């Protein structure tokens, strides 16, 4: 089976982290995000994946390389963003698409049953089958009402107003190559959600009601939620064992005298000074935290430095190489740009 992973969005909601690291390889629980997705695909018989990249594509290739656990990785890079469907057309024109393929949004962490979805697709003779998942708040997703026979009745991308169902597009599609040939125009950006799927309603578009774990990691609170779920084992993974506080500490870290956890992740070569507290927070690689600091529910990108006695309040995200001076406070939900300096008693400079 072949899969194409859409990994070219700019990840705007995860800025400032995504200014320097593209969302597909953003460290999640200490591993590049897509490695979880590739494990999942491999478990459902995918032998080769096309990674559709745009924004910071070299970085994706550098991190993931050309194989993953024996699975071939093929990169297709677009010069200009082609939306969600345009990249599939580009792959078609490159002559690399098989008769039937899986298309995945590249920011979804899930264990939904692709094997069952593929079987349903084959049994109904659909032209495209979308995995649907139930969520409480549908407002940031594509809402997909279906009839009793599973046929999609409408595709409503991020529409306002009351929704007729809580089932949303989970970002995992089985698609016949014929649909790519006939429904996706060439040479311009095309959206599955706003153009292709609405046009396919009543013409061979089916839904598959999936269950299991599902989260889109593309927003700060969901990135942290996915981290906690992986640490607690709510989603099965091949992560190394966590310590007694449910935390993961990478290689070469120095943390003696610090209070780490619960549910924190340190990348490699981080240090946290004595009497500092780090709770439900994520440090990417080479983050240096001084003594007597307090950091809660926050994400610090690679190379961030935090001076002694500084405080980072919940919801903060600090871009790569940012510096927090001794005694400074980074406020609730703050965003600190890569390389910026937060001074004591002031705002980022
Ligand atoms: N190659 C490429 N080129 N990939 C792109 C482009 C592009 O121009 N634009 C977006 N993508 C990728 C993103 O990197 C992401 O993996 C995926 O396409 C979906 O884009 P998002 O920007 O994350 O969309 P969303 O989360 O707002 O909404 C989508 O996902 C929801 C489920 O998480 C839609 O498909 C919704 O219908 C769906 O419910
Ligand atoms: Mg998304």
Determine the pLDDT at residue 109.
96
> Given 231, 256, 281, which residue is the final one in a domain?
231
- The CA-CA-CA angle for residues 150, 152, 156, to 5°, reads 140
* Other beta carbons within 10 Å of 303: 18
Question: Do residues 189 and 210 lie in contact, with contact meaning Cβ atoms separated by under 8 Å?
Answer: no
Question: Do residues 99 and 121 lie in contact, with contact meaning Cβ atoms separated by under 8 Å?
Answer: no
In a domain, 15, yes or no: yes
> Given 170, 201, 231, which residue is the final one in a domain?
231
In a domain, 239, yes or no: no
Cα gap 39→33, rounded to integer Å: 11
From atom 19 of ligand 1, which residue's Cα is the shortest distance away? 105
**Same domain membership, residue 88 and residue 9:** yes
Cα gap 129→245, rounded to integer Å: 41
Which residues are found with C-beta within 5 Å of the ion, ligand 2? 107, 216, 218
Ligand 1: which atom is nearest the Cα of residue 189?
Answer: 8
- What region does 273 belong to: left with phi over 0, alpha with psi -120 to 50, or beta? beta
**Same domain membership, residue 287 and residue 176:** no
pLDDT exceeds 90 at position 345: no
Contacts of 334 (CB under 8 A, 6+ apart): 313, 315, 316, 317, 348
**Same domain membership, residue 204 and residue 286:** no
Which ligand is closest in space to the CA of residue 169? 1
CA of 313 to the centre of ligand 1 (A): 30
In a domain, 315, yes or no: yes
- The CA-CA-CA angle for residues 41, 44, 50, to 5°, reads 35
- pLDDT category at 86 given cuts 50, 70, 90 is very high
Q: What is the DSSP letter of 198?
A: H
Mean pLDDT throughout 39-61? 90
Question: Do residues 21 and 267 lie in contact, with contact meaning Cβ atoms separated by under 8 Å?
Answer: no
From atom 11 of ligand 1, which residue's Cα is the shortest distance away? 9
The tens digit of pLDDT for each residue in 285-308 reads 999 999 999 999 999 999 999 999
- pLDDT category at 347 given cuts 50, 70, 90 is low
**Same domain membership, residue 144 and residue 29:** yes
Q: Burial-class residue 246 by CB neighbours within 10 Å (0-12, 13-18, 19+).
A: middle
The end-to-end CA distance of the chain, in Å, is: 51
Q: Could you tell me the two tokens for 197?
A: 């799927």
CA of 149 to the centre of ligand 2 (A): 28
Cα gap 109→141, rounded to integer Å: 15
Contacts of 249 (CB under 8 A, 6+ apart): 243, 255, 260, 266
Give me the half-sphere count of Cα atoms (radius 13 Å) on the Cβ side of residue 70. Answer: 6
- pLDDT category at 10 given cuts 50, 70, 90 is confident
Cα gap 262→284, rounded to integer Å: 17
Backbone angles phi and psi of 227, in degrees to 5: -60, -50
Which helix (H) or strand (E) segment is 118 a member of? helix 114-124
The tens digit of pLDDT for each residue in 159-197 reads 877 888 999 999 999 999 999 999 999 999 999 999 999
Q: Could you tell me the two tokens for 328?
A: 């400074």
**Same domain membership, residue 205 and residue 91:** yes
In our burial notation (b when 16+ CB lie closer than 10 A, e otherwise), range 174-189 reads: bbbbebbeebbeeeee
Domain hosting residue 325, numbered range: 244-349
**Same domain membership, residue 227 and residue 300:** no
Question: Do residues 286 and 269 lie in contact, with contact meaning Cβ atoms separated by under 8 Å?
Answer: yes
Please list the residues that pair with 28 across neighbouring strands: 31
The tens digit of pLDDT for each residue in 146-155 reads 998 999 999 9
Signed CA dihedral, 182, 150, 137, 112: sign only:
negative
pTM of the complete model:
0.93
Number of domains in the chain: 2
Q: What is the CATH number of the domain that holds 116?
A: 3.90.550.10
The tens digit of pLDDT for each residue in 238-280 reads 899 999 999 999 999 999 999 999 999 999 999 999 999 999 9
**Same domain membership, residue 90 and residue 11:** yes
What are the start-end ranges of the H helices in 132-280?
177-183, 197-200, 220-232
**Same domain membership, residue 169 and residue 252:** no
Q: Ligand 1: which residues within 6 Å by Cβ?
A: 6-9, 23, 52, 54, 78, 81-84, 87, 105-108, 141-142, 157, 168-169, 171, 193, 216, 218
Question: Do residues 294 and 276 lie in contact, with contact meaning Cβ atoms separated by under 8 Å?
Answer: yes
Cα gap 301→11, rounded to integer Å: 15
Ligand 1: which atom is nearest the Cα of residue 106?
Answer: 16
CA dihedral 8→182→210→72, nearest 10 degrees, is -50
From atom 22 of ligand 1, which residue's Cα is the shortest distance away? 9
**Same domain membership, residue 264 and residue 214:** no
On the question of a cis peptide bond just before residue 262, with omega within 30 degrees of 0, the verdict is: yes
CA of 316 to the centre of ligand 1 (A): 24
Q: What is the CATH number of the domain that holds 278?
A: 2.160.10.10
From atom 1 of ligand 1, which residue's Cα is the shortest distance away? 8
């Amino acid at each position: 089976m072949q899969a194409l992973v859409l990994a070219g969005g700019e990840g705007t909601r995860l800025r400032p982290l995504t200014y320097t690291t593209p969302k597909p390889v953003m460290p999640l629980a200490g591993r590049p995000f897509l490695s979880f997705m590739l494990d999942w695909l491999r478990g459902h018989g995918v032998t080769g994946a096309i990674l559709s990249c745009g924004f910071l594509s070299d970085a994706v290739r550098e991190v993931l390389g050309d194989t993953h656990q024996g699975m071939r990785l093929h990169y297709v890079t677009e010069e200009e963003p082609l939306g969600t469907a345009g990249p599939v057309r580009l792959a078609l024109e490159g002559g690399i698409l098989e008769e039937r393929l899986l298309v995945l949004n590249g920011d979804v962490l899930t264990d939904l049953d692709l094997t069952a979805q593929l079987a349903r697709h084959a049994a109904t003779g659909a032209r495209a089958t979308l995995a649907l998942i139930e969520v409480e708040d549908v407002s940031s997703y594509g809402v997909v009402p279906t009839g009793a026979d599973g046929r999609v009745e409408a595709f409503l991308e991020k529409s306002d107003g009351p929704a007729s169902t809580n089932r949303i597009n989970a970002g995992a599609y089985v698609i016949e190559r014929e649909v790519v040939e006939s429904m996706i125009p060439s040479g311009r950006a095309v959206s599955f959600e706003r153009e292709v799927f609405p046009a396919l309603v009543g013409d061979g578009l089916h839904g598959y009601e999936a269950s299991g774990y599902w989260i889109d990691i593309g927003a700060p609170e969901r990135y942290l939620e996915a981290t906690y779920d992986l640490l607690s084992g709510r989603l099965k993974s091949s992560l190394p064992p966590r310590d007694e506080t449910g935390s993961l500490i990478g290689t070469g870290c120095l943390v003696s005298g610090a209070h780490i956890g619960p549910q924190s992740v340190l990348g490699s070569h981080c240090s946290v000074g004595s009497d500092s507290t780090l709770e439900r927070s994520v440090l990417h690689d080479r983050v240096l935290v001084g003594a007597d600091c307090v950091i809660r529910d926050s994400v610090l990108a690679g190379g961030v430095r935090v001076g002694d006695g500084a405080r980072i309040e919940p919801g903060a995200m600090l871009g790569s190489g940012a510096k927090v001076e001794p005694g400074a406070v980074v406020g609730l939900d703050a965003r600190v740009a890569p390389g910026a300096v937060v001074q004591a008693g002031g705002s980022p400079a």
